[in-house]
Amino acid sequence: MKYAPDFRRLRSWELALAIFAVTAPFVMPALSPHGPSFIAAAAAQDMQKVDASRLVSIGGAVTEIIYALGEEGRIVARDSTSIYPESAMKLPDVGYMRQLSPEGVIATNPSAIIAVEGSGPPEALNILKAANIPFQTVPEAYSRDGILAKIRTVGDFLGVPDKATALADTVRADLDAAVADAAARPQSERKRVLFILSTQNGKIMASGTGTAADGVIRLSGALNATGNFQGYKPLTDEAIIEAKPDVILMMDRRGSHAASDTELFSHPALSLTPAAKNQTVIRMDGLHLLGFGPRTAGTVRTLNAAIYGKKTNASQ
């Protein structure tokens, strides 16, 4: 009675096969460092100057910026997160920004692709780049400067830097005014805001630091009630009580799936928070709230007004 793997009676050909199977994924790629691709032949063709006349725009904020620059006539297709302005919805949809189909994108016959950072998957992007379609990544950062950098990147790529500078100036002034208003509020008066991504099965997914929600809450002169972890995490009931949110912030899901306020505050942990006592829930359109595009100044104002009511700031 002993425990042992029973591989002693392997015949030599079986052994050879096993060795082959184990080593193949290491050896085969090593034998062809760049892979046997037909891409190289195509990529060797002449690199022309970027023609930004037929664009595929990936990412809600990128599409909004192109519209704000008045260059929407160049967009031939967009991704499923590009839902503003309304007329963008009429354009062909190449799917979710993180799950692009390379052939689908090529089928729209674009002269260039402009995509927000984080688009993918990487395999699809590799094929698109290899297909010699100029590709521009727009950096993503959840801050004032992040928005301005997006506008400049888009403007430069479209060859309209002057328009982009003008737009960036307007957005900067607008944003600075909105943020200054919010920032003047003393720390002690700031309310604690809990952003809830979803409430499935009674589990509250909340946003920690490094998220778009965290960024917009800070810009609006409030505190993120759950600032002690990164990204989106499910909260325990006790963590929710401990977070003591004054305000619940959620995305406004169109249709009937939005949890009603009564449902939300019947959650045992949430019902014990200050937010439940005041019945304070703010719901905003997801792209508007988290997009970090040209409309963010408006978002900050709306959010600030919703959090603090019509009450004027300490500065005024």
Partner 1 sequence: MAAGNRYGLAQLKAGWTTGDRSRLAQLLIVALVVFTAAIFIASIMTGAADASLGNVLGWLLGMDGAEQAVSARDRIIILDIRLPRAVMGFLVGASLAVSGAVMQGLFRNPLADPALVGVSGGASLGAVTMIVLGSTFFGPLFSAFGFYTLPVAAFLGGLVTTLLLYRIATRGGQTSVATMLLAGIALGALAGAVTGILIFIADDKQLRDLTFWGLGSLAGANWTKILSAGPIILASLAVVPFLARGLNALTLGEAAAFHMGVPVQRLKNIAIVSVAASTGASVAVSGGIGFVGIVVPHVLRLVIGPDHRYLLPASALLGGILLIFADMVARTIVPPAELPIGIITAFAGAPFFLWVLLRGRSHMGL
Residue 19 C-beta: closest distance to partner 1, Å: 11
Q: Is 7 in the site for partner 1 (CB under 8 A)?
A: yes
Choose which of 200, 230, 260, 278 interacts with partner 1 (CB under 8 A): 230
Choose which of 70, 85, 231, 298 interacts with partner 1 (CB under 8 A): 231
Nearest to 279 by CA among 287, 270, 288, 269: 270
Structure tokens at 145: 């400067």
- Evaluate the CA torsion angle 167, 170, 172, 174 in order and state its sign: negative
DSSP 202: G
CB 290 within 8 A of CB 303: no
Q: Is 89 in the site for partner 1 (CB under 8 A)?
A: no
Q: Near partner 1 by CB under 8 A, which window of 25-33, 181-189, 247-255, 268-276?
A: 25-33
Q: Near partner 1 by CB under 8 A, which window of 66-74, 86-94, 183-191, 247-255?
A: 86-94
CB 66 within 8 A of CB 72: yes
Residues in 122-141 that interact with partner 1 by CB under 8 A:
123-124, 126-127, 130-132
Q: Is 146 in the site for partner 1 (CB under 8 A)?
A: no
Taking the C-alpha atoms of residue 134 and residue 145, their distance in angstroms, rounded to an integer, is 25
Nearer to partner 1, 108 or 302 (CB): 108
Reported as type and span, the H/E element at residue 173 is helix 161-183
Strands (E), 129-208: 135-138, 192-198, 204-207
Which residues contact partner 1 by CB under 8 A?
1-7, 9-10, 14, 17-18, 20-22, 24-26, 28-29, 32, 35-39, 41-42, 45, 77, 80, 92-96, 98-99, 101-108, 118, 121, 123-124, 126-127, 130-132, 211, 230-233
